[in-house]
A and B are shown apart, each in its own frame.
Chain A
Amino acid sequence: MSIVETALALEDVAKEYPGGVAALRGVSVEIATGDQVAVVGPSGSGKTTMLTILGTLERPTRGEVRVAGQDVRSSTDTELAGLRAHRIGFVFQTFHLQDPMTALENVATGMLYTGAGARERREAARGALERVGLGHRLTHRPPQLSGGERQRVAIARALVKRPLIILADEPTGNLDSASGHDIIALLHQLASDGATLVLITHDAEIAASFGRRIQMRDGEIVADERA
């Protein structure tokens, strides 16, 4: 198994929270570099927990996790932070933009912990905003933007460092269906240059646009279909 081919790998991963709540009960999955995967399932089925473990924001209670070829269990907090800084881009349902900052500044923070200089970050942020179609909104602040535009800013922030892996947790959850579909189309397009995309959604239509669909229930993977 080569790291070149496998961006993300879980092997018998379980996650239990204090109080005995089991969010994941032995999940094994491999996601190849460049794959675009939709994760579907009812609320509480463990989708988000799996995504945060794939994003190294949380460690599993049991099992092996490899992200971009790196063994998460034996890595320090600093090493995982480095992985996130350079390799992983997150897109959240609630955007998590900083209101006092302009769109350009928000996107530039996506590269803050890569060690890139301020000028380089601004240039990259400008480019990323142009790629998501917001080249004319550079100095707007989040409250001045529509929901769809805000999510585009958040996507630009995730993509500005050109990550290997993009993890999106219901990015259309707060959007109307028209802008939701635009966002999904944009993600498909942006990830098509070789990035790995894992996206959680409730929307069957959106899930259908993905080449691979993982279905979860009660902390387990119940179906893994490829189109």
Chain B
Amino acid sequence: MSAAGATLPTRRGLDRARLPPRELVGAALQGLRTRRLRAALSALGIAIGIGAMVAVVGVSSSSQAQLLATIDSLGTNLLTVSPGTTFAGANEVLPDTAVAMIDHMPNVNRDAAVYQVAGASVYRTPYVPAAQTGGIGVDAAGTNLPQVMGAAMSAGHFLDGVGSRYPEAVLGAQAAQVLQITRVGGHVMVYLGNTWFTVVGIMRSAVLDTSLDSTVFISLPVAERIFHITPSPSEIYVRANQNDVTGVSNLLAATADPQNASGVQVSRPSDVLEARAAAKGQFTTLLLGLGAVALLVGAIGIANIMVISVLERRGEIGLRRALGATQRHVSLQFLTESAVLAALGSLAGLLLGAGATLAYSVAQNEPFVVPLYALVAAPAAGLVIGAVAGLYPATKAARLSPTEALRT
């Protein structure tokens, strides 16, 4: 070989056939550039699949972020104390000293108790059949319940000390809806245990304990006078010092009922809500599955288009082989082309999904969140899908006999 090179000074020395990676990508892009419309259409399948998946993940993350933000703004330091049930299944009763005991605990900022008024129901008029309670319960409550719960009023005010001797009622959000009462004042009244109560306020939804929403509140003195209830709290809401929520939580049961601590149930509503938010995220796996199906269809579309491309470009393949391309060079070129196509499609899908999430979050007034992993996973998935989809067409191209390819 070297002898031939020496006598023929201008000839290049015999060498391997080489194709630097940059040239490989260039050759692949060349193939796509010359068939733009078809490339765009076949990438669309991948774009839709990735777009759907990103949108699903984005929308659920945004809702979740919204829920967590709400929980955060309401505080994660709320604890609830309620009577548990005995082994036999009977309801325990909290001692009437429980509230006072809790009041004196260190690291308790404030607390509020509600007292269930058993057997009481609320109606718009006495003519409503007694069975149609609308699922609304009646609680007696102290004046500071909204402050402790972080619940706002949508109309009027909560029970105050001034009116505590008169039959006044405050409606939870759900209760107001059921009773179809949207404003207060004037002569807006409800019929409660054979007595007319003036509606002085309507609450907004209490996110930390939505059971309060379907409740009508009256003052404790009125409840004692009219319904003769025992002052045993059915629920005590405690705001603990943020730095010692666990400590307070551990002591609450024993403090509320020193004689029967096991009969007291203590919970942290924000934990429950956070768990629920996480569980909400789990539900999206079903929708992600649908996105995966779209992706699969997109991959088949790309494989299809690449097979057609190989058939169409037989002449080019033959020429490249004649110019010194190895079988590997040819298969790599088509593989790269397919991978680039799918990666571009998935980038478009990422933008599509992020756009859909943005539109949703603006419409729902939620924070715009697309998880970081989606930004990496989408193009990576595209590359892999494209490479897999291109495997068969690329092999086919490489196996093509160069002379046969050139004959066309």
Q: Which residues of A contact B (CB under 8 A)?
A: 2-4, 33, 52, 55, 57-58, 68-70, 77-79, 81-87, 90, 92, 96, 98, 100-101, 109-110, 112-115, 117-118, 157, 161-164, 193-194
**Which B residues are CB-close (under 8 A) to A161?**
12
Q: Which residues of B contact A (CB under 8 A)?
A: 1, 3-4, 7-8, 10-20, 22-23, 27, 30, 33-34, 315-316, 318-329, 401-403, 406
B326 touches A78 (CB 8 A): yes
Given the known interface contacts A2-B3, A92-B406, A113-B329, the answer about A164 and B20 at a Cβ–Cβ threshold of 8 Å is no
Contacting B15 at CB < 8 Å: which of A57, A86, A90, A194? A86
B11 touches A77 (CB 8 A): no
Q: A92-B406, A161-B12 are in contact. List 11 more A-B contacts (CB 8 A).
A: A2-B3, A57-B322, A78-B326, A86-B13, A87-B12, A98-B319, A100-B30, A110-B323, A112-B323, A114-B12, A162-B11
A85 touches B4 (CB 8 A): no
User: In whole angstroms, what is the CA distance A84 to B15 when docked?
Assistant: 10
**Which A residues are CB-close (under 8 A) to B11?**
86-87, 162-164
User: In whole angstroms, what is the CA distance A187 to B359 when docked?
Assistant: 66
User: In whole angstroms, what is the CA distance A3 to B1 when docked?
Assistant: 8
B324 touches A81 (CB 8 A): yes
CB closest chain-A residue, reference B315? A96
Contacting B10 at CB < 8 Å: which of A52, A69, A85, A162? A162
**Which B residues are CB-close (under 8 A) to A92?**
406
B402 touches A58 (CB 8 A): yes
Given the known interface contacts A57-B402, A78-B328, A113-B325, the answer about A84 and B4 at a Cβ–Cβ threshold of 8 Å is no
CB distance from B278 to the nearest CB of A (A): 53
Given the known interface contacts A100-B30, A110-B323, the answer about A87 and B10 at a Cβ–Cβ threshold of 8 Å is no
**A-B CB contact pairs (8 Å), 10 listed:** A52-B403, A78-B326, A81-B324, A81-B327, A82-B324, A83-B324, A86-B11, A96-B315, A100-B30, A114-B15
B12 touches A162 (CB 8 A): yes
CB closest chain-B residue, reference A57? B402
**Which B residues are CB-close (under 8 A) to A86?**
11-15, 17, 324
**Which A residues are CB-close (under 8 A) to B34?**
100
B19 touches A57 (CB 8 A): no
B323 touches A109 (CB 8 A): yes
Taking chain A's interface residues, is the majority helix, strand, or loop, or is none over half, making it mixed? Answer: loop
CB closest chain-A residue, reference B324? A85
Q: Kindly name the residue among B17, B316, B319, B326 whose own CB sees the greatest number of chain A CB atoms within 10 A.
A: B17
User: In whole angstroms, what is the CA distance A66 to B4 when docked?
Assistant: 14
User: In whole angstroms, what is the CA distance A52 to B319 when docked?
Assistant: 12
A69 touches B1 (CB 8 A): yes
B4 touches A3 (CB 8 A): yes
User: In whole angstroms, what is the CA distance A3 to B7 when docked?
Assistant: 11
User: In whole angstroms, what is the CA distance A81 to B1 when docked?
Assistant: 16
Contacting A115 at CB < 8 Å: which of B18, B319, B406? B18
CB distance from B260 to the nearest CB of A (A): 85
CB closest chain-A residue, reference B16? A82
CB distance from B1 to the nearest CB of A (A): 6
A81 touches B326 (CB 8 A): yes
Q: Kindly name the residue among B11, B325, B328 whose own CB sees the greatest number of chain A CB atoms within 10 A.
A: B11
A84 touches B1 (CB 8 A): no
B322 touches A87 (CB 8 A): no
A77 touches B4 (CB 8 A): no
B322 touches A113 (CB 8 A): no
CB distance from A149 to the nearest CB of B (A): 18
B8 touches A33 (CB 8 A): yes
CB closest chain-B residue, reference A167? B322
User: In whole angstroms, what is the CA distance A4 to B2 when docked?
Assistant: 9
User: In whole angstroms, what is the CA distance A193 to B324 when docked?
Assistant: 23
CB distance from B328 to the nearest CB of A (A): 7
A57 touches B14 (CB 8 A): no
- List the 4 shortest-distance A-B pairs measured between CB atoms, nearest first: A85-B324, A115-B18, A113-B324, A81-B17
B10 touches A82 (CB 8 A): no
User: In whole angstroms, what is the CA distance A87 to B16 when docked?
Assistant: 11
**Which B residues are CB-close (under 8 A) to A2?**
3
CB closest chain-A residue, reference B10? A162
CB distance from B105 to the nearest CB of A (A): 78
Given the known interface contacts A3-B3, A33-B4, A162-B11, the answer about A90 and B18 at a Cβ–Cβ threshold of 8 Å is no
Q: Kindly name the residue among A57, A78, A81, A109 whose own CB sees the greatest number of chain B CB atoms within 10 A.
A: A81
**Which B residues are CB-close (under 8 A) to A113?**
17-19, 320, 323-326, 329
